[in-house]
Structure 1
């Protein structure tokens, strides 16, 4: 599925979320067909070790992130960590994209004004899903040992380049 509109059209939160989808009561749905999420893997690395430090990547503003952006950030951070510290980390995605993004498809090109019906009843069709994040909410979490701190910060820097908004890395010592 091709993205028609850029992410800047969806990253701000203006109104309530349209995420009502029920298999038991389909007549009560706001969303008739739920779009698939691009984000499928949430836990990576080795969780069976006792790590020293936990790093989280927190968002600094209210923002809405599409599932394909979260998946791109997850992939680039995990690939860097696998290359630099294989088996020495545990990486977890802490958000899930529930909110449905709708798009009102308009005809474009010559003569589109005669074919298109304008914006009357422009509720839109579901095209993607997004995660709505509040201020200071963690997006990703990595547990590792102290000597790998610079690698984790670099992985978060690379992941932040794939996402809209500003992010802050917070370290928590797990031994205390």
Structure 2
């Protein structure tokens, strides 16, 4: 199933994993990377501009893209953190789509479905990714967040806050 089918927030979030056998594993490898220290000059944040659900593989792709760009300055010259956690279980009621299916399958109405992935629900203006950088690496961080925003699948803005 494509991510576009889960982008819109509809209904109550389903988060009870204990009732589902074969629950999907989270694809996010790590939530924080780099060197956590106090002498950074800027806080760069990636914030979404609309209410949306973001799948866990999209969050991981954005994190990897940003970290790869930020790592050009050196692994210990920044600190980056993913600020959202994908709690919501996404389900899909799979229909038969074989060669012998000459009629459209109706299926059961409001069927429960099989767990296919995880998503994070984010509100308008919420920060999903942040990085602490020095003054020398500010332009590199802007570039990294531009690349990461293309992976998210919704309009984003980059906020820059001086820390000192």
- Using the size of structure 1 for normalisation, the TM-score is 0.86
Identify which of 117, 125, 128 aligns with 1:136.
125
1:18 equivalenced with 2:7 (yes/no): no
Residue 49 (structure 1) shift: 4.3
Could you report, residue by residue, the CA deviation over 1:60-103 in whole angstroms, capped at 9, with x for unpaired residues? 00010110111111111101111234421000000000000000
Residue 117 (structure 1) shift: 6.5
Q: Which consecutive segments of 4 or more residues in structure 1 shift more than 3 A?
A: none
Give the equivalent residue in structure 2 for 1:76: 65
Give the equivalent residue in structure 1 for 2:33: 44
Could you report, residue by residue, the CA deviation over 1:145-169 in whole angstroms, capped at 9, with x for unpaired residues? 1221110010001111111100111
d(CA) in 2 for partners of 1:80 and 1:121?
Answer: 44
- Please give the residue correspondences for 1:85-96 in structure 2 after superposition, counting only pairs within 5 Å: 85-96=74-85
d(CA) in 1 for partners of 2:108 and 2:155?
Answer: 34
Give the equivalent residue in structure 1 for 2:151: 162
- Please give the residue correspondences for 1:53-68 in structure 2 after superposition, counting only pairs within 5 Å: 53-68=42-57
d(CA) in 1 for partners of 2:101 and 2:73?
Answer: 53
d(CA) in 1 for partners of 2:106 and 2:137?
Answer: 57
Residue 113 (structure 1) shift: 6.1
Report if aligned partners of 1:85, 1:148 keep a CA contact under 8 Å in 2: no
1:106 equivalenced with 2:95 (yes/no): yes
**Structure 2 gaps, min length 5:** none
- Using the size of structure 2 for normalisation, the TM-score is 0.92
**Structure 1 gaps, min length 5:** 23-28
Q: Secondary structure at the match of 1:112?
A: coil
Kindly tell me the number of residue pairs found equivalent between the two proteins.
Answer: 164
Q: Secondary structure at the match of 1:14?
A: coil
1:6 equivalenced with 2:2 (yes/no): yes
Give the equivalent residue in structure 2 for 1:25: none
d(CA) in 1 for partners of 2:132 and 2:160?
Answer: 10
